[in-house]
A and B are shown apart, each in its own frame.
Chain A
Amino acid sequence: EIVLTQSPATLSLSPGERVTLSCRASQSVSRHLAWYQQKPGQVPRLLIYDAFKRATGIPVRFSGSGSGTDFTLTISSLEPEDFAVYYCQQRDIRGTFGPGTKIDIK
């Protein structure tokens, strides 16, 4: 099974800051990597798929990069509604999710 590791586990930030989240796969997943945002009590929301493609309606401040085993999600300037948990997911071989990174307000 492909294991995804996300770092850091938690980030405390202020609105307006730039943030980069990391997702590392235990073996190559090519570009088959997606990122999701989940807020408490809500359904996960797809942000990025195929490592860098923004999903429909996702603001341009969200961007993804990487291939193989190392991926990043960047939020160029945090908005108040961006404080949430972020998950990466691979579907190269079956599927797995990372443990998540929580961004909370500093």
Chain B
Amino acid sequence: DVQLVESGGGLVQPGRSLRLSCTASGFTFGDYSMAWVRQAPGKGLEWVAFIRSTIYGATPESAASLEDRFTISRDDSRGIAYLQMNNLKIDDTGLYYCVREVEGAGEYWGQGTLVTVSS
């Protein structure tokens, strides 16, 4: 079975950094594009970033509004996708989901890891 397990969330002060991890199992990790999607409390979904599969160069893209602070990466040897988040702001608070894509759509989702940015 496909499993995606996020970790690394927690309470962090504004301006600090955090790195989220998504540990994948049950499929050949390098064959798939991976993404991060977030959801602020009581709000809608927000696309954060994706990284192409290895055969497509593992090239990353982030949302334009976040690309100066958020970076996605992957380690195919360990089956892990990362989201490096720098200079965190209060508005970055939310549940961060790891997603395995099919044709650019989120086919499998983890349960999410909660990030709270507060002083």
Contact = CB atoms under 8 A, between A and B. Distances in A.
Interface of A: 1, 32, 34, 36, 38, 43-44, 46, 49-50, 53, 55-56, 85, 87, 89, 91-92, 94-100
A91 B102 CA distance: 11
Given A89-B105, A89-B106, A95 B50 contact: yes
Interface of B is mostly: strand
B13 interface: no
Interface in B44-81: 44-47, 50, 61-65
B97 interface: yes
A32 B104 CA distance: 7
Interface in B30-47: 35, 37, 44-47
Contacts, number: 72
Interface of A is mostly: loop
Which of B35, B101, B105, B106 has the most A CB atoms < 10 Å from its CB? B105
Contact of A50 (B46, B103, B111): B103
B47 A95 contact: yes
Contact of B109 (A44, A53, A94): A44
Contact of B45 (A1, A32, A36): A36
Nearest to B61: A94
B111 A43 contact: yes
B107 interface: yes
Nearest to B63: A94
B118 to A, nearest CB: 23
A99 B105 contact: no
B112 interface: yes
Contacts of A1: 63-65
A1 B107 CA distance: 23
A34 B109 contact: no
A45 to B, nearest CB: 8
B104 A34 contact: yes
A29 to B, nearest CB: 10
B107 to A, nearest CB: 5
Top 5 nearest A-B pairs by Cβ distance? A91-B104, A95-B47, A49-B105, A34-B105, A97-B45
